[in-house]
Amino acid sequence: MKRPADVTGLVSVIVPTFNRARYVATAVQSALAQTYSQREIIVVDDGSTDNTREVLEPFNGQISYLYKANEGTAAAARNLAMRHAQGEYIALLDSDDIWLPRKLELQMAYVQAHPEVGLVSGQVGIIDADGVVLEPGPRYPWQEAGPVRLEDIVLRSPLHASTLLVKRSLMNEALPFDPRFRICEDWHLCLTVAAQAPVGFVDEVVTYLRTHESASTFALADGPEIARRLEHRLTVIEEVFPRFDPARYDVAKLKAQAIANELAKTAVPNYACGLYDLACEQLAQAVALDPATWRDGPNLAGMVHNYAVFIAKARGFPQAEAFLEAVFAHLPLALQGMQHLQRNVLGDTHIELGFLAWQQGRSDLVRRHMVLGLWHRPGWVRNRGVLSLLGRSLFARNS
């Protein structure tokens, strides 16, 4: 489709959706409610088999609705939208997320004040499946307004798809979103743009990300899916890193850190899948590539802790304990003997599991996990909340 000559300031909002009739109308409404009015909204229905089309009918005349056969990737849906998009800028919105009303206004003000920027993101909060705010944000307090360092984009990216506003001229017009990368096409886009221009950040919450079962598929993925994710992300690294300016970045060091980061993030779910030898090997490789990050333990500790809590919520407390046991029984040689690491992770995780059990009305589990947490990390005895909850659990009944 031929674009008009003057599209200055126009933002094309792209919303891919697949079987999310429960959420998509709320997402579209949040785009329509933007205080920045110079925008168009394109929804691509990627072959939904639910009542998505009917849910979107009330928005006729306010959005462009496109239907296509399902190809299994958000990239393909977004590429179809790009062929119809007219905007100077492209904004992405996943159909289960929500924009705050000033999202586009804040970001367009930023890019107008910093015309050299190729992409701008912003802070996020978290909502649950019913739209209840779990974390109001900001989720990345370490990221201030202004430029985002390439190191942060690579290693701990604060750039979520539903926060992105991208200058269209920096995107590959023939294939804006690479369909090879079913899981990380947005990360590929961010790195591709970052190789050409600065990336900016608005230090206000602009998007609520929705957490629900279908949004956490990787966290509960099987071995082949985990391996596929690693393959895709390593391919992105191999293809994009040669584009970074070696005069500005230590590209070789950053690449080693990036690969180590991906190996470690893959090892943790592999432990949950029972792939102990593979997980151990991946952690060993991570330590060898980036010992400064992975040999001393805190980064691994945080990942193991977070994953154990997620497993407890999704699969149950016994599975979370089995996961913790498996990790510490199969650590690579470089990490063995780090008793403080094991004590800290087990202590902190059991304490959090105790609080989670209380929320679920499981007083027996509260006592078990609080006692184990204090056993592994006695310092928690100074926390009044822990002692209070332990005491209350002694006199409570399970609901």
- The pLDDT of residue 1 is 54
Tens digits of pLDDT across the chain (399 residues): 555 556 789 999 999 999 999 999 999 999 999 999 999 999 999 999 999 999 999 999 999 999 999 887 889 999 999 999 999 999 999 999 999 999 999 999 999 999 999 999 999 999 999 999 999 989 999 899 999 999 999 998 889 999 999 999 999 887 888 888 877 889 999 999 999 999 999 999 999 999 865 544 455 678 888 999 999 999 999 999 999 999 999 999 999 999 999 999 999 999 999 999 999 999 999 999 999 998 877 888 888 998 999 898 888 999 999 999 999 899 998 887 777 778 888 999 999 999 999 988 888 899 899 999 999 999 999 998 988 988 888 777 554
Domains of the chain with CATH codes: 11-211 (3.90.550.10), 217-306 (no CATH)
Q: What is the pLDDT of residue 399?
A: 46
* pTM of the full structure: 0.87
Distances (CA, A) of 275 to 122, 268, 309, 385: 37, 10, 19, 37
Q: Quick one: tokens of 119?
A: 């992409």
Q: What is the pLDDT of residue 216?
A: 47
**Pair of tokens at residue 396:** 């409570």
The strand pair at 133-135 and 98-99 is best described as unpaired
Closest CA relative to residue 139, chosen from 117, 162, 172, 116: 162
Tokens linked to 271: 């432990």
Q: Is the dihedral of CA 46, 23, 104, 141 positive or negative?
A: negative
